[in-house]
Structure 1
Amino acid sequence: MTTQPVTKLPPTGEQPITTDLEGWKVVSGKPTMKTWILNTSSDGRMISGVWEATPGTYHATYDKYEFVHLIAGKITITPDGGQPVHVAAGDAFAVEAGFKGQWVIEEKVRKHFAIRVA
């Protein structure tokens, strides 16, 4: 099988996943999320795409590493027992596997993500 070395991704796919991600529980408000998985690497070890969420608070548990580039919005991310990290449009950050903590979505957010799944 031949793989294209560069794949240009569309802004979003046609059918987002609209259920809350595994490990994400609403803590306050009525936030909603949409996830578009736009690419899976040829070896199946990485996925990338776009995620959107409306204001509210989630408690998130990560079992995989994620790289994020925040396109729009503001979030305060606080690891359980840790210090808050404030991120806003234009910021890039990484979340390590094993993270547990709150994501307070202060303004509607849109992010690009890349997750190591295997």
Structure 2
Amino acid sequence: MSVVAEARAAVLPQDCIDLRAFVADAEAGVVASETGDAWVSTRRMATPPGGPVSIGALALSGEGHVDALPGDEFVFVVDGTLTIGDLTLGRDESAMLPGGIGFDWRAAAGTQVVVMRCTGGTPGASAPVAIDLSPTRVPSNPPAAELLLSDAPQCHNHTDYKSASGEFSAGTWASTPYHRRNNLYPHCELMHLMEGSVTFEDAAGTAHRFEAGDLFVVLRGARCSWLSEEDVVKVWAIYRPVE
């Protein structure tokens, strides 16, 4: 890890990764060991090898072809333009690519992408699924009452993609302000804040505030609290293993 990455990690709660900072630091992470098209062979990994979930960054230019994805992949464009088949994504747009599909891709020079992959499951679609940034969301359950340090929030959700097992999914979520006590994350969640802000604090008391535009992940096994003092809207991609 570079000096820049170490400095950013020092002010982040444990098991929380600032993905925009990771993308910006070309020396951070380890290059994937896979061979083949640049889509799979050139990504810098932000998470350790092993396990069903991996998160990495791709710097893409030109075009290529993937014969078959080894797992579902949530794709977020940090900068530039990415075309996958008939789907074109610009800055801060995202999509889910179901495992097993093959596709042609094309990227403008300097395109930066974050990819969250989940292997071992059965895809929930047969073609790329774009994440709708302004869908009609339906009411969803707030955090469990025993975890709340505030009144229960009003939450609304829209799921664009869910694997056949339900373990890997993505969509958008909105909530009124709330405060949740420190608790164990049984899942791995990538988040892009579209509106509002949230402060995470780990068990050691290290806190970090993420604001609209930030892209980050809270890894499975982390212990963090949540404090949002304004309405929040986010894109999410979650791996939640079935117990």
- The TM tier, using the shorter chain, reads 0.7 to 0.9
Q: Is the 8 A contact 1:36 1:49 kept in 2?
A: yes
Letter in 2 for 1:107: E
SS of residue matched to 1:63: coil
Deviations 1:36-94 (A, max 9, x none): 22211367541001111111211243101110100000111111223101100000010
Task: Give the Å deviation of 1:14.
Answer: 5.0
Following TM superposition, the consecutive aligned residue runs of length 4 or more in structure 1 with deviations greater than 6 angstroms are: none
Matches within 5 A, 1:41-80: 41=163, 44-59=166-181, 60-80=183-203
Q: Is the 8 A contact 2:189 2:237 kept in 1?
A: yes
Larger Rg: 2
Matches within 5 A, 1:35-46: 35-41=157-163, 44-46=166-168
Query: 2:150 — aligned with what?
Result: 28
Task: Describe the shift of the 1:35–1:65 C-alpha distance in structure 2 as closer, same or farther (beyond 3 A).
Answer: same
| Mean Cα deviation higher: 45-54 or 28-37 | 28-37
Instruction: List alignment gaps of at least 5 residues for structure 1.
Output: none
Q: Which has the higher strand share?
A: 1
Task: Give the Å deviation of 1:22.
Answer: 5.6
Task: Compute the RMSD of aligned alpha carbons.
Answer: 2.7
Instruction: List alignment gaps of at least 5 residues for structure 2.
Output: 1-122
| Mean Cα deviation higher: 103-112 or 93-102 | 93-102
Q: Which has the higher helix share?
A: 2
Q: Measure, in 1, the Cα distance between the counterparts of 2:158 and 2:142.
A: 13
Query: Is 2:224 the partner of 1:101?
Result: yes
Task: Describe the shift of the 1:101–1:44 C-alpha distance in structure 2 as closer, same or farther (beyond 3 A).
Answer: closer
Higher relative contact order by CA 8 Å / sep ≥ 6: 1 or 2? 1
Task: Give the Å deviation of 1:30.
Answer: 4.3
Q: Measure, in 2, the Cα distance between the counterparts of 1:30 and 1:16.
A: 13
Instruction: Please give the TM-score of this superposition, normalised by the length of structure 1.
Output: 0.80
Q: Measure, in 2, the Cα distance between the counterparts of 1:64 and 1:23.
A: 19
